[in-house]
Structure 1
Amino acid sequence: MSDSMEAPGEAVPAEEGGPAVPAAHGVPALEPYDPAAPAPLGVERIPTGNTEVDAHLGRLADADLLPADGHLEVYEDVHRGLRDTLTALDAHPPGPRPAVSHNPHHQHNHRS
């Protein structure tokens, strides 16, 4: 038997004070479960068609690599970027605006 494999049933010390997880014959020992460890959520991101919006939404994947206490910074950054991008979409383009007729004598037909 090689030095890299544990004997069946032999306890393998866990890291950071967690319980030891027995190793099975030919199967590596499992690390103790850490609920605070980073884990991808597996949420599918559907492209919006707007490259800037899609880039900000893609940044949410960074939270998958961070512990929970690091998520807030990513979420705030994404929110700020989306707000700025969407606000820019609502802004009128620079340059002359189309003329609007304000003729008080013009009657509108509002029938549906």
Structure 2
Amino acid sequence: MSDTVPEAGVPAESASADPDLPGESVNEPEDDPAAPAPLNVPRTPTGNADVDDRLERLSDADHLATDGHVEVYEDVHGGLRDALSALDARPGPPAPVHRPGPTGR
């Protein structure tokens, strides 16, 4: 094991772990205050599997940098729109038949 000394003017935390790899940092990802952090927003199941799957997909954004959120949000939005369209396409109960009343009055 060799002792490495940080270069002058470079904080020890950002000194290279291997002198042959000058760009490698010894900081752990957890130590980065700008790293993505889960929002831990609770998601209550709706009972509709398609909607619940889309809402669960939102948790994928917790592990992405901000610029990766758009893809997740667009995917969720499209999936929710499809789920709503599917609800509109399902046949419901038959519409009531309007029968004219007596015309003799």
TM-score band, normalised by shorter chain: 0.5 to 0.7
Shift in Å, 1:104:
2.8
Alignment deviations for residues 3-61 of structure 1 (CA, whole Å, 9 cap, x no partner): 8xxxxxxx63237x9xxx9xxxxxx9x83422xx2110010111111111100100000
The TM-score normalised by the length of structure 2 is: 0.63
Aligned sequence identity (%) = 56
- Partners of 2:51 and 2:32 in 1: CA distance: 38
State the alpha-carbon separation in 2 of the partners of residues 31 and 86 from structure 1: 42
1:43-87 deviation digits (Å, cap 9, x = unpaired): 011111111110010000000011000001100100000010111
Cα distance 1:48–1:99, how it changes in 2: closer, same or farther (>3 A)?
closer
Residue pairs, 1:1-112, within 5 angstroms: 12-14=12-14, 31-34=31-34, 37-93=35-91, 98=94, 100-105=96-101
Question: 2:101 is matched by which residue type in structure 1?
Answer: H
- Cα deviation for residue 90 of structure 1 reads 1.8
Larger % of helix: which? 2
CA distance in structure 2 between the partners assigned to 1:66 and 1:42 by the alignment: 14
Structure 2 segments unaligned to the other structure (5+ residues): 4-10, 16-22
Amino acid at match of 2:89: A
Question: Equivalent residue of 2:52, what SS?
Answer: helix
Contact map agreement 1:14 1:31 (CA 8 A) in 2: no
**Structure 2 SS opposite 1:13:** helix
Q: CA 1:83 to 1:103, structure 2 compared with 1: closer, same or farther past 3 Å?
A: same
- Using a 3 Å threshold, how does the CA distance of structure 1 residues 92 and 50 change in structure 2: closer, same or farther? closer
1-structure distance, mates of 2:59, 2:39: 9
- Give the SS at the match of 2:31: coil
TM-score, normalised relative to structure 1? 0.59
Alignment length (residue pairs):
82
